[in-house]
Structure 1
Amino acid sequence: MAAVIAAAAITLPGCSAAPAPSPAPGVSGGAVDYQAPSAHRLDAQKLARIVQELPPSSPQRSLLRDGTVSRADLDLSWTRLRSCIEAGGLTVKGPIVNPITSTEYLYTYKRQGGASLPTTTAPTTTTSTTEEGGGADDAIVKGCEEKFWIPLSSVYSANTPQHMNSRLAGFMTECMTRAHYPAAGAATFDQIVRDASGTVTTARLREANDCLDRGVLALFPDLPYFPRP
Structure 2
Amino acid sequence: MRELAKKLQSEGKTEQADVMKSGRVSTSDYEAAFSRLDKCVTDLGYSLSAPQINPVDGIGYSYVFLLNGKPMEAASKDYENCQEKYWNAVSSVYINTTEKKMDQTLWSATLSCLAAAGYPSTLKEGSLADLVGENPLDGAGKLSSQADTAVNCVRDNTVKLFPDLPSISVSF
TM-score grouping bracket, smaller chain normalisation: 0.7 to 0.9
Q: C-alpha displacement at 1:199, in angstroms?
A: 4.9
1:188 aligns with 2:127: yes
Q: 1:42 corresponds to which residue?
A: none
Q: 2:23 corresponds to which residue?
A: 67
Among all aligned residue pairs of Structure 1 and Structure 2, give the percentage whose two residues are the same amino acid: 25
Asked if structure 1 preserves the Cα contact closer than 8 Å seen for 2:51 and 2:61, the reply is yes
CA distance in 2 between counterparts of 1:200 and 1:153 reads 24
**Which structure carries more helix by proportion?**
2
Which stretches of structure 1, 4 residues or longer, exceed 4 Å deviation after superposition?
198-201
Q: 1:212 corresponds to which residue?
A: 154
2:36 to 55, 58, 80: 80
Q: C-alpha displacement at 1:215, in angstroms?
A: 0.4
CA distance in 1 between counterparts of 2:167 and 2:159 reads 10
CA distance in 1 between counterparts of 2:91 and 2:136 reads 28
Q: 2:6 corresponds to which residue?
A: 52
Q: 1:162 corresponds to which residue?
A: 100
Flag structure 2 segments of 5+ consecutive residues without an equivalent.
138-143
Q: 2:170 corresponds to which residue?
A: 228
Asked if structure 2 preserves the Cα contact closer than 8 Å seen for 1:173 and 1:186, the reply is no
Asked if structure 1 preserves the Cα contact closer than 8 Å seen for 2:101 and 2:127, the reply is yes
Where 2:5 maps in the other structure, the secondary structure is helix
Asked if structure 2 preserves the Cα contact closer than 8 Å seen for 1:183 and 1:191, the reply is no
**Per chain length, whose mean CA-contact separation is higher, i.e. which structure has more relative contact order (CA < 8 Å, sep 6+)?**
1
Where 1:228 maps in the other structure, the secondary structure is coil
Where 2:66 maps in the other structure, the secondary structure is strand
Q: One-letter code of the match for 1:172?
A: T
Aligned residues: 162
Q: 2:56 corresponds to which residue?
A: 100
Q: What is the TM-score of this pair, normalised by structure 2? A: 0.85
